Chains A and B, each alone.
Chain A
């Protein structure tokens, strides 16, 4: 199975290009954690249930992403620093169509 490339801008503004596996049912939040691009305890607090918004990110590239689910939409309605291109990283699962995806982590809140 192939890996894809994802560019992640961390909360300090540093850009990282990482390899993300497409065969492990991983989501963007988990990719960020696996490369330790945000301190533990500041991302993925709810574990990936769309219940905390600690993995909010801004999508910078124009990839077609999975449609936003009900839980994600409502969580973002209560999150801070939300923009038009905000998504919850935990709800975006890695697959080959996301090769070249660019995201920026939202500030911790």
Chain B
């Protein structure tokens, strides 16, 4: 069981900055994120895009913002459970919470702060009527263990990096790899496109373009896919069909935690501390809603800051505390590091 003071669900910019504000109050944080790396949308969707409205930064790349935030919170030694989605929450008699991920990792904390953005990123599923019948029976949207495909006939569809990269990777594992894409052009990195071209020339990957997988056939297990290429429709035998069309955020299991939801977001008390209808659970950043809400990183930072002050009061109801400026108090890390403003040099004039 992982124990912490504030359990943050979502390791995007808002969640990461909450670690800093909590650290100033000597509260430890642990973050859970469904993605395998920190940064949320900034890292997953637009790492190379510039952001122009972070106060004090005329321009910063989303990926660089995340790198800077990670550096800023380093002294506070946050824990991470990455690549796992927060699935269930249980409130204990003492008011604290246990949050369990879909892989069974348990986290215990007196405070839960949901900084889940638009939700956890889940694979986009192509609109094939019976696709759900074959999930884990030959259809996988995420490749968890490449060994599953050893000596199997694999059909991948998609035109982005993950479709190209996995096609390349699986040529060494699978019996055969066929890549189906709606266009002749691919959206992935140039290197990957060239590598696929090379493997195609060597006969290691078969490309079927422009074409689309439109149907699945099998008896309790995938046996064939139906492909439409122009006016022609044909079937191909295969063991696995892997549609790789990117990820899309979904609120997911959090929607069933008994929290008040409005407009696909969690309602919070914005006049006070961004607490939800369940005391001890806060929602900050893009995942929350209140009158006048704006989904901006800078608003998430503000919400994280107020949330931490309230969390401190909740954990230590009898302690008096006033907010200290970092310029005055410096930053004392849990790792023993200390940053502070240089002391003025006093010199007398003779």
Partner-B contacts on A (CB < 8 A): 39-42, 45-46, 49, 51-52, 54, 74-75, 77-78, 80-82, 107, 109
- On whether A46 and B46 interact (CB within 8 A), knowing A39-B263, A41-B264, the answer reads yes
B203 contacts the other chain (CB 8 A): no
Chain A positions within 8 Å of B124 at CB level: 80, 109
Q: Given the complex of chains A and B, what is the CA–CA distance between A41 and B265 in angstroms?
A: 8
A41-B263, A51-B45, A80-B126 given; name 8 further pairs at CB < 8 Å: A40-B263, A41-B119, A46-B46, A54-B248, A77-B183, A78-B246, A80-B127, A109-B124
Q: A45-B248, A78-B158, A78-B246 are in contact. Are A39 and B185 (CB under 8 A)?
A: no
Interface size on B, residues (CB 8 A): 26
Contact of B118 among A41, A49, A109 (CB under 8 A): A41
Q: 0/1 per residue, B114-128, Cβ < 8 Å to A?
A: 000011000010110
B249 at the interface (CB under 8 A from A): yes
Contacts of B182 in A (CB 8 A): 77-78, 82
Q: How far is the CA of A109 from the CA of B122 in the complex (A)?
A: 12
Distance (whole angstroms) from the CB of A7 to the closest CB of chain B: 24
B195 contacts the other chain (CB 8 A)? no
- Residues 228-258 of chain B: 1 if any A CB is under 8 Å from the residue's CB, otherwise 0? 0000000000000000011011010000000
Nearest A residue to B49 by beta-carbon distance? A49
Chain B binding surface, main DSSP class = loop
Say how far A74's CB is from chain B's closest CB, in angstroms: 4
Asked if B159 is an interface residue, CB under 8 A from chain A, the answer is yes
Whether, in the assembled complex, B160 has its beta carbon less than 8 Å from a beta carbon of chain A, the answer is yes
Asked whether, in the complex, the Cβ of A41 is within 8 Å of the Cβ of B251, the reply is: yes
In the A-B complex, the 6 residue pairs with the smallest Cβ-Cβ separation, listed nearest first, are A41-B264, A40-B263, A74-B187, A77-B183, A80-B127, A78-B159
B185 touches A42 (CB 8 A): no
In the bound complex, CA of A75 to CA of B245 (Å) = 10
In the complex, what distance in Å separates the CA atom of A14 from the CA atom of B162?
A: 37
